[in-house]
Structure 1
């Protein structure tokens, strides 16, 4: 392994291909770590997956990654003549019943039919076959502002996000396929871990940022977990209720990095 180059995924693949393909997150000296993020020092390494005794961290990472994917779906679902400005997505709360992305669509009203929602959902579902790796990158404020210069909401958020970083001058972004967005992470390893992805509801929001802001909500399931179709449909119905997460503009970016101790984790899961 090479410092600053090798990742937990590389380490896992040296053990068995099964571990590399099933691992969702890594624990590096007790800290949550992306599977494709380079390792910077000698460390104690273990792996997390969806069937762990305590799956809270991987569930949150999955929810967060689904919000990220939803943002990418919204940016590509509309024709170029339509206005689409991604705002932000709240930190994941599995108990809320849905993952979320708040987006400004510059429409007086948008009430998509179930058929339209299904067609948009398929854009996200097809990412499973593409096996897009979630890649993390830390950049300076200046580089982030250049990258998101066409998005007024991201530009407003960047200074506050950077001020909360360890250096007070960096912004963390992730890339999966062609989509890039701001998040402190961590994210799941790859879109290949996504089994089901359904956009279930769109709610217009009452916010001072814009009178054309919508909260798009969805539900998903990872490949390692299987549900009876009837049970999944009940979860889809629950996810249609307006998610009570903080409204956009309440705080610049609510998605936060979490850490945990290795405690009951084994060296290899």
Structure 2
């Protein structure tokens, strides 16, 4: 009930603000998160009675272990807690009957389950999920880094391989900031903000939703609505994958890792101006990270960082228009003051 009342208040606020005043970034985040919670509660209510399922564990040391779990409630993370502390802390992703599965996504049938870590013999899937998660974290930082009077439009997260040398997040700033040039202190500030989220060890909560739900959540953004329609059209079951970290809701092209605390070394390395796009002057933020327990010597890290500073080329169309800007210190919030 509380969630429903909050939704109604926000809906009225957002509906009237177009004529009265611009909706703040904080209000948009609250709107998204509230609707996410509402749909999450609706989906949980689909399993009013506890039904048992059998989960057969796969992998070294747990091969053939049988767990009896709760349908629609238990997750791969729940299963890891029945094993060892190492499984709880090391698991980054799961395979359910061979399908990549987020650690906090409920299990809906009896299945085989493999917990994946970054130290597996073939860590390709967790590495891809990690790179995608680092980009999502960067978007979360950028969305909250500027003062409330400036809009930050996050574009789709580019799917780049780990071999590209940097994860990326494309975005468009308020037209007033088109001439803004980030400084080294700006990048350090973004890095500090990211590390604060990492230290909080926040979960990435997954939610599969029907397109109308996703369109309502992103009702303020034409760019995101187009992305929702494209992802729904490409999805075998017609749904869209959403993830929430704190109050930040993101669309993802694949599974993310379980929590921000799996990130270790993390640095925002560059912010490039890509060119004019359909939504405005498009920029590309880039970063470099290693997961927990996989640190690099400072000389190796320096070489990796130099590579991550170079623009990652992505085949995408860009176009739009520029205007004037305040200085870096005028544009950013007090928590991210370049």
Shared fold, TM over 0.5:
yes
What secondary structure does 1:180 align onto? Answer: strand
Higher relative contact order (CA 8 A, sep 6+): 1
Q: Deviations over 1:170-198 (max 9, x none)?
A: 22111111211111321111111011221
Separation (CA, whole Å) in 2 of partners of 1:226 and 1:47: 22
Aligned to 1:264: none
What secondary structure does 1:200 align onto? Answer: strand
Separation (CA, whole Å) in 2 of partners of 1:31 and 1:141: 22
Deviates more, 1:83-92 or 1:205-214: 205-214
Aligned to 2:301: 232
Q: Does the Cα contact within 8 Å between 1:218 and 1:239 map onto a contact in 2?
A: yes
Aligned to 2:125: 57
Structure with bigger gyration radius: 2
What secondary structure does 1:126 align onto? Answer: helix
Aligned to 1:39: 107
Q: Does the Cα contact within 8 Å between 1:199 and 1:217 map onto a contact in 2?
A: yes
2:219 maps to 1:172? no
Aligned to 2:252: 183
For residues 132-211 of structure 1, the aligned pairs below 5 Å read 132-168=202-238, 170-211=239-280
Separation (CA, whole Å) in 2 of partners of 1:32 and 1:171: 15
What is the number of residues matched between the two proteins? 249
Q: Deviations over 1:44-98 (max 9, x none)?
A: 1111111111111111111000011111001011110112101111113111111
From the superposition, tell whether residues 228 and 126 of structure 1 become closer, same or farther in structure 2 (CA, over 3 Å). same
Aligned to 2:145: 77
Q: Does the Cα contact within 8 Å between 1:202 and 1:214 map onto a contact in 2?
A: yes
Separation (CA, whole Å) in 1 of partners of 2:196 and 2:81: 25
The Cα shift of 1:103 comes to 0.2
Q: Does the Cα contact within 8 Å between 1:25 and 1:32 map onto a contact in 2?
A: yes
The Cα shift of 1:152 comes to 2.1
Q: Does the Cα contact within 8 Å between 1:51 and 1:224 map onto a contact in 2?
A: no
What secondary structure does 2:149 align onto? Answer: coil
- Determine which structure has the larger helix proportion and give its number: 2
Aligned to 1:93: 161
Structure 2 stretches lacking a partner, 5+ long: 1-68, 320-338
Q: Does the Cα contact within 8 Å between 1:8 and 1:35 map onto a contact in 2?
A: yes
Deviates more, 1:103-112 or 1:194-203: 103-112
Separation (CA, whole Å) in 2 of partners of 1:246 and 1:80: 32
Q: Does the Cα contact within 8 Å between 2:138 and 2:194 map onto a contact in 1?
A: yes
Q: Does the Cα contact within 8 Å between 2:104 and 2:205 map onto a contact in 1?
A: yes
The Cα shift of 1:121 comes to 1.1
Structure 1 stretches lacking a partner, 5+ long: 251-269
Aligned to 1:111: 181
- Please point out which of 121, 127, 149 is paired with 2:197: 127
The Cα shift of 1:231 comes to 0.9
Separation (CA, whole Å) in 1 of partners of 2:272 and 2:129: 24
